[in-house]
Amino acid sequence: MKQLGKPDKLDKYRLHLMEDAELKPDELEMLARYRKAHGLLCLGFSRNQVLATLEQEFDLGQPQLYNIVRDCITLYGSIEEVDKKGQRAISIENYKLLANLARQRGDIGAAIRAQEKADKLQGLFEPEKTLLDPKAFLIPVPMDFSTDPDVLREQQQTQDIDFEDLTGEGDDDAV
């Protein structure tokens, strides 16, 4: 792993995780604490619950516990955004399942409502964002016109080419 800028204290753990670099015993113990904190966060524990669990297990002070939780989020990434997307995907699938069950029972109204909720979570009712602003095409662009016939003849005689080797060192076929 190539270092850019000033190294931080988590670089040695990143090297260990990505390239299997050796860690000292006390660094392995700290990595185990980071893993424990991250595992608890993945299980849905709040940060306060993680702090309380780590405090009971490792008998550390509050500042050190906060540092462990902050560093584990820095090292492994925040799961809150990923968790939100995952919950949305689960809800969509549940609504689709409910729509199918309602359709099988013959309750078309409930099936439509469940399918609409799934579609709303997927963002199907939101207008698509356009990258080009149509109003930008309404702005007049200044154009230069010429009534001089010599200008037209000069443009007709000009040939457009992609590449021309002016050094004479290239292929004879290249134009």
146-148-149-151 Cα dihedral, nearest 10 degrees: -60
pLDDT confidence bin for 173, thresholds 50/70/90:
low
pLDDT of residue 2: 54
Q: Model confidence over 33-51: pLDDT tens digits?
A: 999 999 998 888 888 999 9
User: Contact at 8 Å (CB) between 95 and 115?
Assistant: yes
Question: Is the model's pTM score more than 0.95?
Answer: no
The domain locations on the chain are: 11-78, 81-122
Residue 21 has pLDDT above 80, yes or no: yes
Number of H helices, E strands in the chain: 7, 0
